[in-house]
Structure 1
Amino acid sequence: MSKQKRLWNEAVQLIKVTTGEDAGGYPIDPVESSREVLANELSVKRSEFYAANQSGMRADVVFEIHAIEYEDEKLLEHAGKRYEVIRTYSSEPEYIELTCSDISQRA
């Protein structure tokens, strides 16, 4: 089965959260940095949806990006929503799929 055409027509913000300590050894407030990459928005596969649900998570959306652009970010923003990256998967060396859970949907 051939994969659907990749359009790279969705802009997403990959968000890295950095924590640390000041010179006195006290924790500093987390600092967020983000960068925009182009992505393809994919549907959540049925098996991923149920596997996430069994783990107490929600799988709301999957974004495919170029693997070289991913630096293990745990947060992502798209269309005004913030997501947590709950799983990564690479079926091809050039691309990585980020399965995401909508943070605003959590109780």
Structure 2
Amino acid sequence: MRYNDVIYLISKTIEYDDYGNPIEKPIKRKVYANRMRVTTSERYEAGQQGLKPSKRFEIYSFEYDGETSLKHKDTTYNVMDVDERGDKLQLVCDKDVGT
């Protein structure tokens, strides 16, 4: 498979302004991924818990550092599940409705 979809893994850091107020800053890293299909059984099982998985991406394991969200084509997704498969892993995501 070709890794021809660009995603941005997003982690967050806390910085402080001049008054000591915490400000959450996103840090984005560009990664190439394979977009994969979310299976019907995954949708069903997640639906039982009130979740709605909408995307699945495969990346190399060494590229993932515990990020909790990602961006793909101007849409932000929350990482719901990480499925490790040897030197690759799959990120199951749901659309972030807050953005």
TM-score with structure 1 length normalisation? 0.82
Structure 1 residue ranges, 4+ long, deviating more than 3 angstroms after superposition: 19-22
Q: Cα distance, 1:50 vs. partner?
A: 1.1
Deviation at 1:27, TM superposition (A): 5.4
SS class of match (1:68)? helix
Q: Is the 8 A contact 2:15 2:25 kept in 1?
A: no
Instruction: Tell me the number of residue pairs that the alignment of Structure 1 and Structure 2 aligns.
Output: 97
Give the aligned partner of residue 43 of structure 1.
37
Q: For the Cα contact (< 8 Å) 1:19–1:27, is it kept in 2?
A: no
Corresponding residue of 2:48: 54
Unpaired runs of 5+ residues, structure 2, are none
- Using structure 2 for the length normalisation, give the TM-score: 0.88
RMSD after superposition: 1.8
Would you say 1:97 and 2:93 are equivalent positions? no
Distance 1:27 1:93, change over 3 A: farther
In the alignment, the residues of structure 2 paired with residue 47 and residue 27 of structure 1 have an alpha-carbon distance, to the nearest angstrom, of 44
1:78 aligns with 2:72: yes
Gaps in structure 1 of 5+ consecutive residues: 1-5
The answer to whether 1:19 aligns with 2:14 is: yes
Contact 1:59 1:99 in 2 (8 A): yes
Whether contact under 8 Å (2:12, 2:24) holds in the other structure is yes
